[in-house]
Structure 1
Amino acid sequence: MNISLSGRLFTFGLIASWYASNIGVILLNKYLLSNYGFRYPMFLTLCHMMACSILSYIAISWFKMVPMQTVRSRVQFVKISSLGLIFCFSVVGGNISLRYLPVSFNQAVGATTPFFTAVFAYLMTLRREGWLTYITLIPVVTGVMIASGGEPSFHLFGFIMCIAATAARALKTVLQGVLLSSEMEKLNSMNLLMYMAPVAVLCLLPAALVMEGDVLGITITLARDDSSILWLLIFNSALAYFVNLTNFLVTKHTSALTLQVLGNAKGAVAVVISILIFRNPVSVTGMLGYTLTVFGVILYSEAKKRSKIDI
């Protein structure tokens, strides 16, 4: 009885930590990029990837949270590097979109990930889902179209970057299944992050220095005037890693399907909290569109679950 209760409390604590870190990093990204005026999304992503590189190595090598998995061949390294570049682009795109769009609309667009996953799965593997699964994607896309038309703070470039980031996340998921499909090449998410993050750092460092000017000098100057920016960046970067860590732990102690269901609810919670904090204007049309998208994602999850049961 006590063991069962403690196990449930532990799982609840993991889920609460995943929610808090996930929503927290989105809101803090928005605050830094938009409200605080730190308009350097590439450098911010670079900080995130550096934290993921260092902290994932510490978690695996020092704390033995999961067994260390080695890269076995040059081909496997190229595959992981490709995934790392796509992962990097998805995070950069998401951060750029947060500079122009409110969190509520950002989350609405992000909820269309299942649509892009289904499209890429078909194009790359010719894997067809059941007709019911494809039908459930209609409200997912329709909801975002409605939300876009009713969004008071709509910004075209921010919308394009948000769509690109969402598509990149879906592409990484499909490619991961294709490229690392053999038992010899499969990596758990923590080891994969440990190898992907340094690739992203090597890609982002020159890009940030070229495209965002003297961002290092500007950050140092800002830190001298107000040390809080330094602590915000450190906390934000650590939180970005904690999202990945809690994501892995929640999946390990529940299931991937449970994580998907919790993710749907997390998006809705993030929307409500962001509106309360940032007080961005919302329209009834926009909220109806977002609600329709979330409803479509829930139907999609149920259709996928049933198709697996039937098989």
Structure 2
Amino acid sequence: MSGKGASPPTLSGKMFTIGLVSSWYASNIGVLLLNKYLLSNYGFKYPIFLTMCHMTACALLSYVAIAWLRLVPMQSMRSRMQFLKISALSLVFCGSVVSGNVSLRYLPVSFNQAIGATTPFFTALFAYSMTVRREAWLTYVTLIPVVTGVIFASGGEPSFHLFGFIMCIGATAARAFKTVLQGLLLSSEGEKLNSMNLLLFMSPIAVVLLLPATIIMEENVVGITRSLAKEDIKIIWYLLFNSTLAYFVNLTNFLVTKHTSALTLQVLGNAKGAVAVVVSILIFRNPVSVTGMLGYSLTVVGVVLYSEAKKRFKTQAS
């Protein structure tokens, strides 16, 4: 091995990384705020149809990115069993996104993000119950402030809505469940897919799953959308832009993961939630309480401690 260390990143390399992270933040926060605006402020009360628009855009743009632009090599499904596994992941993913969108009709983005920060708690819960894999005791201790913070935030939330809260908890749990399930179902070397190809396979399946749900639960939504478009054509542009942003959330997440370390991604992810809270309060001017903000801060501190404990445990195990 050479005695020379890795060369420091160039200015252009740093600017590229900053641009990637900025794009990741902008697309994440942008789709969150636009979802809130459409479903709550604008009055477009069709979260399942909105999710189906997102999944349609992800299917089309994933194909363009992989088959035409060749951002990553095209992978293929190897068996009927793998198709069934990906379908199961799609179902959980749909449940997560739809529940999250439903919750935005009733809850402010700031509170939505506070609940979403409890994802590590549910991930640890599902990982233990499904794999019986124990973490270090310190890792479980760090989950106490994560949950306690949300309890405080809930008690101090002026716009608390029970149904919205239940939907948001369900979305957070489903997101964590998908992460653990993905690790179990696609763990063998022959079945591993990068996130871009997984999205390419999951999105069309999600559209097929969401279509009957939209028809049954959001009757005549296409006709209603057309009527809205005759009164205000901006609704079409909102939906197109929102759906495109939903794809860029996944694309930029993949690129940031590729060009930074896992630890950097965790830190950036924690900060992203805090930025989303501040931006949403400035835009929507939803009331916040000192108790609510202290609760959210406690949750974020818990998530940071959890990440540190996980990193330390992995370092000792290796």
Place the TM-score, normalised by the shorter chain, in its bin: over 0.9
The 5 A counterparts of 1:158-169 are 158-169=164-175
Moved over 2 A (4+): none
Structure 1 residues 258 and 2: CA distance shift in structure 2, 3 A? closer
Deviation at 1:3? 6.7
2:151 pairs with 1:127: no
| Aligned residue pairs, count | 311
Whole-angstrom distance in 2 between the partners of 1:158 and 1:197: 25
Q: Deviations over 1:203-248 (max 9, x none)?
A: 1111011101110100011111111000000000000000000000
Match of 2:245 in 1: 239
2:117 pairs with 1:111: yes
Match of 2:179 in 1: 173
Deviation at 1:2? 10
Q: Letter of the aligned partner of 1:22 in structure 2? A: N
Which secondary structure does the structure 1 equivalent of 2:135 belong to? coil
Which secondary structure does the structure 2 equivalent of 1:66 belong to? coil
2:216 pairs with 1:199: no
**TM-score (normalizing by structure 1):** 0.99
Deviation at 1:260? 1.5
Which secondary structure does the structure 2 equivalent of 1:105 belong to? helix
Structure 1 residues 296 and 3: CA distance shift in structure 2, 3 A? closer
Whole-angstrom distance in 2 between the partners of 1:198 and 1:259: 28
Q: Letter of the aligned partner of 1:220 in structure 2? A: R
CA RMSD of aligned residues (A): 1.0
Match of 1:45 in 2: 51
Correspondence for 1:145 among 132, 145, 151: 151
Match of 1:76 in 2: 82
2:289 pairs with 1:283: yes
The 5 A counterparts of 1:17-56 are 17-56=23-62
Structure 1 unaligned residues grouped into runs of 5+: none
The 5 A counterparts of 1:194-273 are 194-273=200-279
Q: Deviations over 1:173-192 (max 9, x none)?
A: 00000000001000000000
Structure 2 unaligned residues grouped into runs of 5+: 1-6
Match of 2:3 in 1: none
Whole-angstrom distance in 2 between the partners of 1:194 and 1:257: 26
Q: Deviations over 1:78-125 (max 9, x none)?
A: 000100110111000000000000000000000000000000000001
Whole-angstrom distance in 1 between the partners of 2:92 and 2:202: 10
Q: Letter of the aligned partner of 1:31 in structure 2? A: Y
